Structure 1
Amino acid sequence: MNKALEQTEQAREETARKIDWRRRISDHVAYGLLIYTGLHIFLTLTQLKSGNGSMLPYLALVVLVAAIIPACRWFEMRWSDLPDVKAHDPALAPAFRREVALMWLAVFGLPVLLTLGFKAGSTLF
């Protein structure tokens, strides 16, 4: 019985060592920036093809550089500054999932919201 408990504890420790929140958040941020950029460019090109000649879609691309990259870097810095002991702590999983979900919501939501906002703005000008 003791041997089985020791093996279970050892398996939990190995799993905890495999989890590295710092590396995981970096992966999520990198993939998120790629998807955000691709989606944003696709939506912006759609607006440019509409032929209204507005500069607003270009402004939307500037927003990418001015706001999104620093915001994603902030997500990453919160986790990359963890000490080694906390970087492998499975108790941080709920907080990690919450922040990653928020980041992915922004990745998919912001390009759509920006495009709709700039489209509405272009009708005013």
Structure 2
Amino acid sequence: MNEPPGSGTMVKSDKQVAAVPVTRSVSRTRDWRKGMSDHVAYGLLVYTGLQIIFTIKALGEGTSSILPYLSLVVLVAGIIPVCRWFERRWADLDDAEAADPALAAPFRRDAAILWALAIGLPITLTLVFKAVLSFF
């Protein structure tokens, strides 16, 4: 009785298949510590990228002031400590808390605030600095 594969019966193979032991845990719990660390890393990359884009644009418009450099100093002096605060807040969790599903809402809130800062701050800083320069 030769039936095609997928018809409900098992088809035997002449080849042996080597058993590969699975070393990863089947459990897929979220580690809030690693998650926030990832958000911080990507947020800093996005912030830096936007900051550089806006700085290059300001330099291209002929702004010969200290504006672009001042905005880059704000990057170092302002955003990095804030990001470290977010990361440290979540890094201090013990193993049980790091996998606690009850922390999903605070995690999403902190991640949303972090991303709002990473995207909104370069735009806001550029607009504020341009407004200040328009008065001088």
Q: Same fold, TM exceeding 0.5? A: yes
2:39 corresponds to which residue?
28
1:14 corresponds to which residue?
27
Percent sequence identity is 59
CA distance in 1, matches of 2:57, 2:85: 30
What amino acid sits opposite 2:63 in the alignment?
A: N
The alignment status of 1:103 with 2:118, answered yes or no, reads no
2:129 corresponds to which residue?
118
SS at match of 1:14: coil
Show structure 1 runs of 5+ residues with no match: 1-12
SS at match of 2:121: helix
CA distance in 2, matches of 1:71, 1:52: 29
CA-based RMSD: 1.2
What amino acid sits opposite 1:119 in the alignment?
A: K
- Which structure has the larger Rg over C-alpha atoms? 2
Aligned residues: 111
Q: 1:35: Cα distance to partner?
A: 0.5
CA distance in 1, matches of 2:132, 2:57: 16
- The structure, 1 or 2, with the larger RCO (C-alpha pairs under 8 Å, 6+ apart) is 1
2:10 corresponds to which residue?
none
What amino acid sits opposite 2:67 in the alignment?
A: L
SS at match of 1:30: helix
Once superposed, which parts of structure 1, at least 4 consecutive aligned residues long, lie more than 3 Å away? none
Q: 1:123: Cα distance to partner?
A: 1.4
Equivalences for residues 1-125 of structure 1 within 5 A: 14-15=27-28, 18-125=29-136
Show structure 2 runs of 5+ residues with no match: 1-25
SS at match of 1:117: helix
What amino acid sits opposite 1:66 in the alignment?
A: A
